[in-house]
Amino acid sequence: MAINRGTATPSAYKLGSTSVSKVYLGTSRVWPVASAFTPMAVLLTSGTSYTVPSGATSMKAWAVGSASGGSTGGAGGTAYKTWTVSGGSSVAYAVGPLNSGQAGGNSTVTYGGVTITGRGGTSGGSTGGGTYSGGDGGANGGKGWNDCGGAVGGNYSGSTTVLSCTRVPAADVSGLLAAVALAGGKRTEDCGSVAAFGSGGGDKYNLNKGPGYGGGAGHNSTNGVGGAVVLYFT
């Protein structure tokens, strides 16, 4: 029995008088051709759930714990994982809150019954960053040191470049900073009034140079910030 195509660019096929919704060549669908999904990312600093966008088939997630809000506090740890996802399904997450002068809180992402955790940094001077668990890998947060707070990704002033404002820029964790930029977040540290994602705070003489998400507070400062969750869909 012949398939009636109608026109060269049909809006419908029929098998005899019966409408056909899909046409396959072997196991490959040739009509209608599915629209390509444009990769997208979101930076989440509040809330508890996010709906997977229609057309997405893969999600890479990062859970970044909040840092210590105390002087020269440790940064939050970062965990990451890639899942196969379906549009319309729900991603559960929690963002570690800022606990001024205290240890940071944990951030988590849960999908398909699997959870990843970026733990909060510890409080007090010259302290350690948070750890991580679950998923495909991660990085401990940088520790506070001298006048600087620790940065996301394990950087701290004892082992990396310290900028003129004594902020310490974040290190990348498996593509995290590119996803942050795609989501509209600030990726590059320029010592401006708004810190880049994950930067450790600093500048003992200019305390408005606070940290970025997940980064520890600087010298004699309690102006830390909370953690974050970043989701990248393809």
Residue of higher predicted confidence among 34 and 57: 57
Confidence check: pLDDT of 173 > 50: yes
Predicted local distance difference test score (pLDDT) of residue 4: 42
Residue of higher predicted confidence among 183 and 150: 183
| pTM score | 0.83
| Per-residue model confidence as pLDDT tens digits over 183-194 | 999 999 998 888
Span 3-12, average pLDDT? 48
| Per-residue model confidence as pLDDT tens digits over 69-103 | 667 788 999 999 999 999 999 999 999 997 766 78
> Would you list the domain boundaries of the chain?
1-34, 37-234
Compute the mean pLDDT over every residue in the chain, rounded to the nearest whole number: 84
Distances (CA, A) of 12 to 1, 16, 22, 24, 32: 17, 12, 9, 14, 9
Residue 225 phi, psi (nearest 5): -130, 170
**Total count of residues recorded for the chain:** 234
Predicted local distance difference test score (pLDDT) of residue 52: 98
Confidence check: pLDDT of 18 > 60: yes
